[in-house]
Homo-oligomer: A and B are copies of this chain.
Amino acid sequence: MTEDDLLRQMFAAAVDAAAPRICVPAHLPGPPSGRTVVVGAGKAAAAMAAAVEAHWPANRPLSGLVITRYGHGVGPLPRIEVVEASHPVPDAAGEQAAARILQLVQGLTEDDLVLCLISGGGSALLALPAPGITLADKQAINRALLRSGAHIHDMNCVRKHLSAIKGGRLAAAAAPARVVTLVISDVPGDDPSVIASGPTVPDTTTLDDARSVLKRFGIVAPPAVQAHLLDPAAETPKPGDAAFRACETQVIASPQASLEAAAEVARAAGFLPVILGDAIEGEAAEVARVMAGIAKHCAQHAQPAPPPCVLISGGETTVTVRGQGRGGRNAEFLLGLAVALEGHPAIHAIACDTDGIDGTEDNAGALLMPDTLARALTLGLRARDRLGDNDGYGFFKTIGDLVVTGPTLTNVNDFRAILVARPG
């Protein structure tokens, strides 16, 4: 097996570990004596629902509705309805479907089961404003929060208190039914109260906190929002509330679990895996320079790991676009790595989005080999120039080293692996 094959297999293992067809069946609860209602939202929602249907006993009742992103459906399912809606900016399709989900879980008994399927993107797809508040109100607040530089925890606190379904309200609506939530996490720490703003998870933040956030960042809310945040009935369900007595949540896939799966593939092939982090952030080309420095240090000083080894990391980098080229953050990362490594003879790498789409192109990512720069030069491509034009896609497409998988229907963020071979 070549180094490049190994890197492809590691990526495949990372995706498989988060694939609904694999991780959902392993965590399905047994059928209840009563009805089972499947609900949920996220980029993996349709694939998760399909996995439920495929493994649910044909003679036990199953129905429901899940919301996924436009283009992330899997074709009509026999028993669970799949609605597609807009992400990252919510739209009416998502709002109406969220309202129907709230209705579906009402009137259930202790003998019934609500199976809630949550994945990344669920927050936008499950956007149902609290009574008296419009989607436009919520959007205005959201935009102001994004501009303010507020922390994601502060933003979620406000969102939960303006929603009819988030912050544990879906679980409250489903009581006294048993609620089992299966989560594919794409956030650092895998906190279920953060992913999709935790529709079935108790909220530890308060109305008071939400008002403080708006005040702290100088955000003037529309009158309806101000009135809502002063109404004690708008408080979210809290830990210990009766609503959560029959609730349980399982994180069935996560960035870290996928990195671990890839690490096992490396280990089996005789390469020491080193997981540097599941939530590495930063400008893609700069992250690449740092990773290049660490990889070269492995090659030269056998630190932080002796070759043969693989440096593995996850998380989302960012690209500040300055050029006219094409490509997502993984191609940009890999092109930056190519420039920083200057054709290092022992180092290979892969960088791909686990959702199968790097940015807005048709590739998941790309591969870097020791001869990448040289092969590009023979085609008249200078890596440094292409990086200056943010043209990672064009660069790797021209030399034939894109990794193309198509949408994987799951998402545990990016996957990067840098292989340092034993000195020749």
Contact = CB atoms under 8 A, between A and B. Distances in A.
Interface of A: 149, 151, 188-189, 256, 274-283, 286-287, 289-291, 293-294, 296-297, 300-301, 303-305, 313, 315, 340, 342, 384
A188 B295 CA distance: 13
A294 B277 contact: yes
A280 B290 contact: yes
Given A286-B286, A287-B286, A293 B275 contact: no
A149 B384 contact: yes
A218 B335 CA distance: 25
Given A149-B384, A384-B149, A297 B278 contact: yes
Nearest to A275: B303
Identical chains in the assembly:
2
Given A189-B300, A304-B304, A293 B274 contact: no
Given A149-B384, A281-B293, A384-B149, A301 B275 contact: yes
A267 B380 CA distance: 50
A207 to B, nearest CB: 24
A304 B286 contact: no
A278 B149 CA distance: 34
A294 B276 contact: yes
Contacts of A342: 151
27 contacts: A149-B384, A256-B301, A275-B297, A275-B301, A275-B303, A276-B293, A276-B294, A276-B297, A277-B293, A277-B294, A278-B301, A279-B296, A280-B290, A280-B294, A281-B290, A281-B293, A281-B340, A282-B286, A282-B289, A282-B290, A282-B293, A283-B286, A286-B287, A287-B289, A290-B291, A293-B315, A304-B305
Contacts of A189: 300
Q: Is the interface of A mostly helix, strand, loop or mixed?
A: mixed
Nearest to A340: B281
Nearest to A315: B293
Contact of A279 (B277, B278, B297): B297
A149 to B, nearest CB: 6
Nearest to A382: B149
Contacts of A149: 384
A272 to B, nearest CB: 11
Nearest to A336: B282
A239 B282 CA distance: 44
Query: Sorted from nearest, which 9 A-B pairs have the closest CB atoms?
Result: A286-B286, A277-B297, A282-B289, A280-B293, A277-B293, A290-B290, A275-B303, A282-B286, A277-B294
Contacts of A290: 280-282, 286-287, 290-291
A330 to B, nearest CB: 16
Contacts of A287: 286, 289-290
Given A287-B290, A290-B287, A315-B293, A276 B304 contact: yes
Contacts of A275: 297, 301, 303-304
Contacts of A278: 297, 301
- Which of A256, A277, A301, A342 counts the most chain B CB atoms within 10 A? A277
A276 B300 CA distance: 12
